[in-house]
A and B are shown apart, each in its own frame.
Chain A
Amino acid sequence: MLLKINHIAKMEGHAGFMASVLEGDVKAAKLEIQEGIRLIEGVLVGRHYKDMPVVAQRICGICPVVHNLTAIKSLESVMGVAVTPETEKLRTVMEYAQIIHSHALHLFFLSLADFLDIDNDIKLVKKYPKETQAAIRIREFGMEIVKTIGGRVVHPLTSEVGGFKKAPDAGAMRKLVIDSKEILRTALELGEFFKKIKIPEFYRETEYVSLQKNGEYAIYDGDIVSNRGLHIPVEKFENNFHELQRQQEVVKRIEHNGESYMVGAIARINNNRNKLKPAAFAYLADLKWKFPYYNPFGNILAQMTEVIHSIESSTQLMKELLNSDLNEVVTKNYEVKEGLGAAAVEAPRGTLYYHVDVDAKGYIKNVNIITPTAQFLSNLEDDIMEYIPNIIKLSDKEREKKLRAFIRAYDPCISCAVH
């Protein structure tokens, strides 16, 4: 039997799905990537390093912030540029805001209808007007932070190697801090609604990989760790994780010790849950999950937990920034140096890794970008192989619905995966 979906909507980028089942045995399950190549790594070769954050962030229209920041951090690691604590904080706030609006979009508008067995978002918003308002307002809060700091939501403008071209407006930031109180309350209410969703029972053991840092929930910085005891500095990422291209495929998959693994909200919650802020910590505790939590459908609740945490964390950081000199974020002089650099930042969908080689004049010799979706693609397929027998007896239409729901729960970003 051949299971085929020509096109999966409600996710970023273009992909279909194909699986073959022989006498009840799943022989293959594959996400069929239909995205064209843009060769962002290739076009960066030979360009001036200052172009890199600008060009690289255009890999993704939903998570440009994280591409921009990871590109900047990798260049700073080449040149040994030290930024101020204010700059690090402001970047972290930006990344948290990115996570808030990306998660709010996915967990409500892209994925929720699947869990409630509702055909489309029209019926969803009609049935749940209050929750829809909540999701929109949370998303707008995240976007407003990115705009205040970056000058624009899609492809922000101010961040660069060394800091920011311009300090954000303190008045606008103060307003965000005031708004955050109500947004946190809104998120907790939406969280209560999400607690009642029926999460399908499906468990498969896997390795969860994320950043980790002492004393805080790692987002902007940290070492690479996993629930299976891996702990390496970011520079060693490519020694441990291997990127490979299969013939005819435009996504290069990543393996760890020859196996698939998972990144993203569910991986971060598994590895770093003890460092969540109080409201998020309490929310997660109330879900009564047993850790490691191996159910990929739980990703949307992990995202909900992170939305709460991200509101708490970004508010705290903005308060600290307002009590310091915001002009400290403005870029100071630094020296252009040649060499190799690497950096990783937690994107909404998982750890984003950049590696760059720069010449003495500041021109790029080589770049490698490893995105979260490229990392979890094989894990998604391995999961589906095990999931299919659970749904094989359903009608074609019902089975296809379940498969779409499963794939969307992962929140794949195909534009990022191919870049």
Chain B
Amino acid sequence: MVKKINSKTKKTVKKKPDKKVAVKKNTSVKKKAVKRRKSTLAAKLPERAGETRIEVKNNPAKPKVAIVSLTSCEGCQFVLLDLGQRFLDLAGQMELVDFRLLEDEEDAGGGLDLVLVEGNPVTEENVKTLMDARQRAKILVAMGNCAAMGGVPEIKNYQEGANTIKHVYKYLQGISNPEIKEIGNLVKVDFTFPGCPIDGEEFLKYIPELLAGRVPVIPDTPVCVECRKLGNRCLLLDKKPCFGPMILGGCNAVCPSSAMMCQGCRGLRPTGNTKAMRAALKNMMTDEEFENITEIYGLRDDLEEREGK
């Protein structure tokens, strides 16, 4: 087993971006503008056979929205696409920019009302894209666990750090291998759609407010509330570990409903009691197992921060 790096040295500290640095970077971004795609996707697709109801709206007053994909599996974008008709209906209410999955055309630039960012800033290009997005956006949203908490790539921060690459590549020169940072370390994040991947229903619930220029707040309830509502038998009662009590609900308890423990991809809820959680899990898993699982979705650094370590 790989020796863990001391938690103090590896920790990614969340901090507000230094405004001076951000501004400076942004000006350099301008010169070498990142090529962007323009979406003209504003059509409604018919849902069922026989119902031809395609309209192409072209209302210039519609909010301008960009979906920006950094290094990731793009699963959060697929959650949106998989909403099918409902996503396309929603897309009809906005001017979508940079939805590369459907469009080839280039974006003319300019201000954006809303930017949704998925993935990790790994390459220099990713960082530029993110900075550029922040500069253009009124509201910037972290979409999913990678952007919000570091995601599975953050596991390397807890293990061998920069040396993790040696398991994968022989020639390291020219490959960007930074410490994984949540986008909140580089830019101000106004709202987060949590989860790995995000939850499509939750997206539909909060997006109207964001489109109206307001920042919603996800209620501080644990995963357990929805889990109980669904009539699931509590995993903890069967002495099976589950992070549900300390994790922010809103996912409709999708994991416990599939008999999978909550591993915390949505992050700690504001009043989540981590110490009580650790105590409750004492008889079900070792401290090491607990730490290991908190690493999968980048929860470990947040826990340490919460517990003042």
Contacts and interface: CB of A to CB of B under 8 A. Distances in A.
Contacts of B70: 36
B49 interface: yes
Contacts of A120: 40-41, 102-105
A39 B41 contact: no
A388 B151 CA distance: 40
Interface in B67-97: 69-79, 81-82, 84-85
A34 B104 contact: no
Majority secondary structure of chain B interface residues (helix, strand, loop or mixed): loop
* Most chain B CB inside 10 Å of its own CB: which residue of A14, A38, A48: A38
Interface stretch (A128-136, A273-281, A376-384): A128-136
Interface residues of A, number: 73
B23 to A, nearest CB: 25
Given A9-B100, A151-B258, A133 B196 contact: no
A153 B260 contact: no
A25 interface: no
A34 B82 CA distance: 25
A51 B296 contact: yes
B155 A47 contact: yes
B72 to A, nearest CB: 7
B116 to A, nearest CB: 14
A41 B175 CA distance: 16
B43 A125 contact: yes
B103 A121 contact: yes
Contacts of B75: 58, 60-62, 64, 154-155
Given A39-B168, A61-B78, A129 B152 contact: no
Interface in A156-188: 157-158, 165-166, 186
A154 B82 contact: yes
A110 B99 CA distance: 12
B1 to A, nearest CB: 5
Contacts of B48: 133, 137
Given A125-B43, A158-B260, A245-B169, A415 B152 contact: no
Contacts of B126: 36
A91 interface: no
A318 interface: no
Contacts of A392: none
A409 to B, nearest CB: 14
B258 A62 contact: no
Interface string A40-84: 111101111001001100111110100000000000000000000
A59 B73 contact: yes
Nearest to A8: B104
Contact of B174 (A157, A248, A361): A248
Interface stretch (B9-17, B159-167, B274-282): B159-167
Contact of B120 (A36, A45, A59, A121): A36
* Most chain B CB inside 10 Å of its own CB: which residue of A129, A152, A250: A152
A155 B123 CA distance: 25
A166 to B, nearest CB: 4
A129 B88 CA distance: 14
B308 to A, nearest CB: 27
20 contacts: A10-B101, A10-B103, A36-B120, A37-B169, A42-B166, A43-B152, A43-B156, A43-B159, A54-B263, A61-B74, A121-B102, A125-B54, A134-B49, A151-B254, A153-B79, A154-B79, A166-B259, A245-B171, A247-B173, A359-B1
Given A10-B101, A151-B258, 13 more contacts: A35-B123, A36-B123, A39-B165, A43-B153, A46-B1, A58-B152, A109-B101, A109-B102, A119-B104, A120-B104, A129-B45, A133-B45, A154-B78
Top 5 closest A-B pairs, CB basis?
A: A61-B75, A36-B122, A46-B2, A36-B71, A151-B258
